[in-house]
Amino acid sequence: MYFDYREYLRNVLDAFKCLDKAFSMRALQESLGVCGSAFFTRILDGSRPLSQENAEKLAASFKLNDLDSEYFKILVEFGNEKNVDRRETLLRKLIAVRSHNREYALKDESLGFFSKWYIPVLRDLLPLLSSGMSFAKIGRMFTPALKPAQVESAVNYLKENEFVSIDSLNKYVVKDPLISTPARVRSTVLRKYHLKNLEIDKKVYDSFAADERSVSSVTCSLSPESFEKVRLEIQNFRERVLAIAREEKKPSMVCHLGLQLLPRARVGRK
């Protein structure tokens, strides 16, 4: 059930304390043969990572079965990894191990919402259509156009994971299930989604007339403090856009708004 090994360790140690009033982290350290009086304290507060060697010792000490031991060791690697590509690979490994538990396999299916650029678009488009409309016709509404099989697969995914349902009037209704995952998991999943959307934007740019698109940019010099202010302004603007969308009574299109704020050069960096 964990995507953060520190959270898992914290809960395990708390459970030990409840079961045995005489339990101490120092005694556990000694039994593991690890050095440092603040070993667990520094790991739990994030000031040092748990090594793979010590992860194996903990897995043995906690008497984890083979599957749980495998998950724990991958979890430690995922928590320590900085490279986004490697982290994505490790997340897929974690989800593969979790798939042995049906409950978590169902939860992880919802992460697929961002696996294709058109799934979030389709979720907002379907309520504007009749549920009897052909997949081929729906696919031609997209820019770029989708194949009928892509639409059918995405619609089935949205229905199976309760992102949409069909009401008594034969209309699609958007539901809003929570995708409850830690920030590190969300950022890993969303990375490819954002990159794919940038790729799609580039591909379809010339498909729209000037009055059908809005593309602009600003190049400016900022301090770290000003950068944070601009980042918050973008966040607030995004909330205002969502508020406008929520108040819309007669929508006729689904739009994608991309906002990027990235350093292009830094003074003093080698």
What is the arithmetic mean of pLDDT over 45-64?
91
C-alpha torsion 92→97→98→101, nearest 10: 150
pLDDT digits (tens, 9 = 90+) for 193-226: 888 899 998 989 888 998 888 888 899 999 999 9
Phi-psi sector, 267: left (phi>0), alpha (psi -120 to 50), beta? beta
d(CA 202, CA 154): 23
pLDDT digits (tens, 9 = 90+) for 109-118: 888 888 899 9
Is residue 180 pLDDT above 70, yes or no? no
What is the arithmetic mean of pLDDT over 220-247?
93
Is residue 142 pLDDT above 80, yes or no? yes
The model's confidence at residue 42, banded by pLDDT at 50, 70 and 90, is confident
- Domain spans of the chain, in order of start: 5-100
DSSP letters of 116-152? STHHHHHHHHGGGSBTTS-HHHHHHTSSSPPPHHHHH
Which pair of tokens denotes residue 32?
Answer: 């593991």
d(CA 147, CA 180): 31
Is residue 122 pLDDT above 90, yes or no? yes
Give me Rg for the CA atoms of the chain.
24
d(CA 87, CA 190): 12
pLDDT at site 177:
63
d(CA 106, CA 108): 5
